[in-house]
Amino acid sequence: MNYQEEVKQRFLDSGIVFTDEELASIDFADFSLNRLETEGLNLIVYENNDRYCAKEMVLLPGQTCPEHRHPPRNGEEGKRETFRCRQGKVYLYVEGEAEAAIHSKIPEGQEDFYTVRHEIMLDPGQQYTIEPNIKHWFQAGEEGAVISEFSSPSDDASDIFTNPNIKRVTE
């Protein structure tokens, strides 16, 4: 099974009902790094308007969404988001007291770009809210993960990544 088929199957196996249009619209975000299987994110956006955003995300085993923050924009505070683990395990890292050892494996050669080490583990049914402009990154456990995100409006082009080589929105 190729990468895109595996991601689609994980969405289907999640128990969440998706339309054919949603499954055809999966965003395979590689952040212009060309190492999607280690640093990437796969998402379906249900709604993103001027008041709120709702999406589902799939991470393959050990796949990592790189460290970033959602800064203020257009006179508004940055995006506030709640992650709810639906399946698998998610290791979420945010600003705060650093752990002596973390469960995740930082992608090789990228250690300088993962600076926050306050670990929050999410199992199915658990959730965590990330306040605006807080650096964060997350990684799926060994079985992968399905995550629902509920947030204020999402503007990917405004996200600031710790790694200066990342482009969330390609030109």
Q: What is the DSSP string of 113-124?
A: G----EEEEE-T
Domains and CATH numbers, the chain: 3-161 (2.60.120.10)
pLDDT at residue 171 in the model:
47
Task: For residue 3, report the phi and psi dihedrals to the nearest 5 degrees.
Answer: -55, -50
Per-residue model confidence (pLDDT) at position 168 = 78
Residue 167 confidence (pLDDT): 87
Q: What are 155's two structure tokens?
A: 């503007």
**According to the model, what pLDDT value does residue 169 have?**
67
Residues (pLDDT < 50) of the chain are 171
How many helices (H) does the chain have, and how many strands (E)?
A: 2, 9
Calpha distance 13→71 (Å, rounded): 34
